[in-house]
Structures are given as structure tokens and as C-alpha cells.
Amino acid sequence: MTMNSIPEGRSKLGFIGIGAMGLRIAGRLLNHGFQVTVFDRNANKASTLVSSGATLARSIAELASDADVVLSSLPNDEAVRSVYIGPEGVLAHIRPGSMIIEMSTVNPESSRELYRLGSARGVSVLDVPVSGSTSAAEQGLLTLLAGGDEDSFHSAKAIFTAIGRQYFYLGERGSGATMKLVVNTLLGVGMQAIAEAVALGEKAGLDRQRLFEVLSKTAVIAPAHLGKLAKALEHDYRPEFAVGLMNKDFRLILETASAVHAPMPAAAAAFPINDAEFADHPDYDFCAVIDRMEDLANINSARRKSRGETISLTK
């Protein structure tokens, strides 16, 4: 079952997962006039949204039973299953005819499973992972990648336009999740390529600041990587997209590639370096692989060694 449309102001939305992205996405929905009820296992994370007009649910069951649309932004497959499946999960309490918009980056098979379980309850499920930074989420400039029923996708236009600059229907269930892994393959492998290029230039004698400045003005640096160059230039690795999230995505990419027998030599080579950086600095931004490659080339290893750190290609 699908809705004809989801109007602003008259639709009750439930949002689960008030992390860095969820906070900003739910905030955008509030600002566009939706009635938003929020839930996070850490209720303190929702305080900002409550002060802006959101309602705080005491449980997932309470949120799901009253919502026309349930949205979620969660860290991994395990969190998605724990929120949706089981006697206290969304699917046990959501009303038939409602919709689920699941926005986490997960294995496409998890999205397909959620779709099957939702269909058995008469609930439409879309997998709609997002591409973009926390800044893009705050400004409503995300790119949304959707899989599931096409009619449901079109009925959710008011939600999508509130949070995204552009949104795409990719096909049947799991297609949005698959496309997100395709996108993040380029994100992760591209960052590793930049890290190697930077280390090469420095090792060959180029001035670090000038190298970064010129790279940032070339056509080969994607917009998603441009801001990362500026952060890495200053050795600023405060997380916007944490290396742990990229690490999780690399795992999903390689698992999916294995399942469909797609060769991924570049991703397979980039993953151990990301993994090593994650092991040393789990809260750094994923662009910290630039720092690791510089260290491996013995360019700025004294800085890390002064902090008692050791540097390795892998963990």
C-alpha cells in the first residue's frame, strides 16, 4: 500500500536515530512544517529538536504506532535490525498503509529484508541512503538515492525536497543501498588516491602548501574531496565523515562485490590503509589517510612519533 502524497503540515513523521546526520535531517523536516516525533536511545541527543518543536517518543513502539511515515538514520545493519525487527521494533507497531524511509548506509540485503517484512505488514518501505556531508544535510543539499516502489518514491516528494538538493529513483528494493556503495567506492578509493599523490609530490620535493593549493584547483579533485584537502592541509582531522564510517562502508563494498563476483582491486588495496588509520584514530575524519601516507613516506612522521605513535601500512 502506498500514499498518494505526503503533505507538509498534515503528515506525522517519526524519526529514529538522532546522530550527526539525523539531527540535521530531522531539523530540516521540522523547519518545513512537518510534525516530527523523534526517538534515540540516548534521549539527550534529541533535546535540540524538542526545543525546536519536535515531540520526544518514550519508545520505538510509541513512535511507530502514531506515525504516517517512519524515517531512520542509523550507524549500521545491526542497528537497523534492532530498530525495526522484534516485538519492540517498528514493524510490530506501525500501522498498515504507513511508509518507512530508511536512510542508513547498509548492506543491500538488509534493505531487501526490511522491504519484505514491511510488505507482509502492508507497509511501503523505501531504502533512501544519502550522499553528502553534515553541512549539506544542514542546508538541505543532500543527494538522495532511493530504491523500492516507484509510486511510494513519488509520494514522498515533499519529504525529499525538504532535505535534499536532488533525489533519484534507482529501481527495486535495495537499489538505493547499492547505489550508495557505488558512490562511496569512489569516495574512499578517491581519497586513497589523493593521499598517495600528495605523498609522492612531497617526497619528490614539492612544497606541501603549494601542492595542496594547486591540487585543489585541478579538475581531477571531486567536490566531495575538495574540503578534505583544506582540512588535511592544516592536519585538521576533526570528523565530518569519520574514518570509522568509511571503514564500515569499505567492508560493505567488498562484501557486496564478493556476493556479485565483481572484481574490486583498487578498493581491496585501499581498505587496509583505511583500516589501519581507523585502528589508530577511530574518531578522525576519513581524510586522515593523507596523514598516514605522508607518514609512510617519512615526510612528517616525526610529528606522530613525538606523540608516541607508530605508523604501519596496515593494522
Indicate which residues carry an active-site annotation.
180
The CA distance from 235 to 265, in Å, is 29
Residue 96, CA distances (Å) to 1, 68, 117 in order: 8, 10, 12
In which region does residue 235 sit, left (phi positive, over 0), alpha (psi from -120 to 50) or beta (all else)?
left
CA angle at residue 120 from 113 to 71, to 5 degrees? 60
**75 and 19 in contact (C-beta within 8 Å)?**
yes
Residue 149, CA distances (Å) to 153, 154, 164 in order: 6, 9, 19
**237 and 253 in contact (C-beta within 8 Å)?**
no
DSSP letter at 164 equals E
Return the bridge partners of 99, or none: 69, 124
The CA distance from 155 to 299, in Å, is 54
- The torsion angles phi and psi of 142, rounded to 5 degrees, stand at -70, 160
DSSP letter at 19 equals S
